[in-house]
Amino acid sequence: MNQEVIIVRGNHVLSGDVTVAGAKNSALKLMAASLLGQGVSTIHNVPVISDIEIMGEVLDRLGAAVAREGHTLTIDTASVDSCETPYELVSKMRASISVLGPLIGRFGEARVAMPGGCQIGARKIDMHLVGLEALGVHFDVDHGVLHAFTPDGLHGAHVYLEFPSVGATENMLMAAVTAEGHTAIENAACEPEIEDLANMLNAMGAKVSGAGTSLIEVEGVALEALHPCDHTCVGDRIEAGTFLVGGALTGGPVTVHGIDPAFLRMAIMKLRAMGCAVECGLDWVRVTRSEPLRSVDIQTLPHPGFPTDLQAQFMLLAALADDVSVITENVFENRFMFAAELMRMGADITLDDHHAIVRGVAELEGAPVSSTDLRAGAALVLAGIVADGETSVHHLEHIDRGYEDYAGKLASLGADICRVPVSSRG
């Protein structure tokens, strides 16, 4: 595949309407959950992004048949006969560890290569293992492969997670649906994507309650009681938040469709605190700004706190605000790698452990920059829209993991942007 670069010429213009795709962080787990359906499940509103392609390859390697038509995936898991995922796929995307729970739920066994993924943090899977061990799962690690087995079957348990890990909650949930008896997950992750997964599992015949709160309860059912289903993925709140930041940067108005505003309560609150006007409808959010950006303090926290996946975008806003902002990263230790790239464009940022002190500057300057992770890449493209001159954003593979036609959507809002092969830049 030829490497490409996004070229942005600063024109300070973003306005109009844009529709977000389905949530990446939900669709990946819904695909994994289809393993429990033992037949043909249909998932609608699935984004066309590279992470989805990789998960499709993982399911294919397990014996499933995955077909796409537009934004709809049809996944036939009736013939799945393997419970092992290879390193070459798992190493490309850490979310492929999410097949662990449904494989255990279906076969009582799984062999999953230890996950790789992006650079923003260690993302240890210890909590996944502790939670699953409470359900009767035993683990061996041999040459980088995690072997899970259930010599006495799966049984319900009361588990308290030491941190509301999304991945651990999801894996426990997908294993617990076929465990004998009652399972309670306390301090569970509350993200909207967890609720979406539970809704699909219930449509398949599971008995899950409390998803979206810190206490999830599961009444186990026999594997034979589970069946395929038809489900629509929720909208991507992080993609929506990214476009809202774009509107806030340039003044807008930008209206984002296909998202429940409740998913973005904390981000909307911070946009208003920074001087933006935000209107909300049933499935849309509109942002406008007519006054200078105001500084703000932000701490990333698990949902319903401020999402770590919007931290880079809001750091960009803070870089152009009228005073000093402090951004505290409590979720992923390496997410401030983005700051160094933004500083190449003239931002004034000082890093102190997990705090970033951001002093607003009058303007940014276009420069060659590199995506350090998915959200950083998206934020750097936005920075180019408000910078003076031309910005070239490299390593687009990060952006392609989570944003469908990102450059095209920004162009539809008025950005002067194009995506070209690296070679054509000389």
Check residue 124 and give its pLDDT.
59
Check residue 52 and give its pLDDT.
95
Structure tokens at 155: 């049984």
Q: Are 324 and 357 in contact, with CB atoms under 8 Å apart?
A: yes
Nearest to 109 by CA among 80, 144, 77: 80
Q: What share of the chain is helix, strand, coil (3-state, %, to 5)?
A: 35, 25, 35
Residue 409 among known ligand-binding residues? no
> Which H helix or E strand runs over 385?
helix 374-386
What mean pLDDT, rounded, does the chain reach?
A: 93
Please tell me the CATH superfamily of domain 24-221+228-232, with its number: Enolpyruvate transferase domain (3.65.10.10)
Q: Are 409 and 18 in contact, with CB atoms under 8 Å apart?
A: yes
Rounded to a whole number of angstroms, the CA Rg of the chain reads 22
Look up the CATH architecture of domain 4-20+235-421: Alpha-beta prism (3.65)
3-state secondary structure of 46: coil
Check residue 329 and give its pLDDT.
92
190 is catalytic: no
Check residue 40 and give its pLDDT.
98
Q: How many residues does the chain have?
A: 426
Residue 25 among known ligand-binding residues? yes
Enumerate the H helices of 72-191 as residue ranges.
Answer: 87-90, 100-107, 126-134, 166-176
* Separation between Cα atoms, residue 79 and residue 33, nearest integer Å: 15
Residue 309 among known ligand-binding residues? yes
> Which H helix or E strand runs over 238?
helix 237-250
* Separation between Cα atoms, residue 274 and residue 288, nearest integer Å: 11
Residue 94 among known ligand-binding residues? yes
Check residue 96 and give its pLDDT.
77
pLDDT digits (tens, 9 = 90+) for 125-149: 677 788 899 999 999 888 778 899 9
Which member of 118, 190, 233, 276 is catalytic? 118
Check residue 121 and give its pLDDT.
40
Check residue 236 and give its pLDDT.
98
- Spell out, as residue ranges, where the chain has pLDDT lower than 70: 1-2, 115-125, 333, 335, 423-426
Using alpha carbons only, what angle is made at residue 75 by residues 71 and 81, rounded to the nearest 5 degrees?
Answer: 155
* Separation between Cα atoms, residue 123 and residue 170, nearest integer Å: 15
Q: Are 271 and 314 in contact, with CB atoms under 8 Å apart?
A: no
Check residue 127 and give its pLDDT.
78
Q: Are 124 and 332 in contact, with CB atoms under 8 Å apart?
A: no
Strands annotated E in 360-415: 364-365, 368-370, 387-388, 390-394
Structure tokens at 115: 């996950």
- DSSP single-letter state for residue 86: -
Residue 331 among known ligand-binding residues? yes
Check residue 118 and give its pLDDT.
38
Q: What is the pTM of this model?
A: 0.94
Q: Phi and psi of 291, rounded to 5°? A: -125, 165
Q: Phi and psi of 302, rounded to 5°? A: -55, 155
Domain with CATH 3.65.10.10 in the chain: 4-20+235-421, 24-221+228-232
Check residue 120 and give its pLDDT.
34
Residue type, 400: D
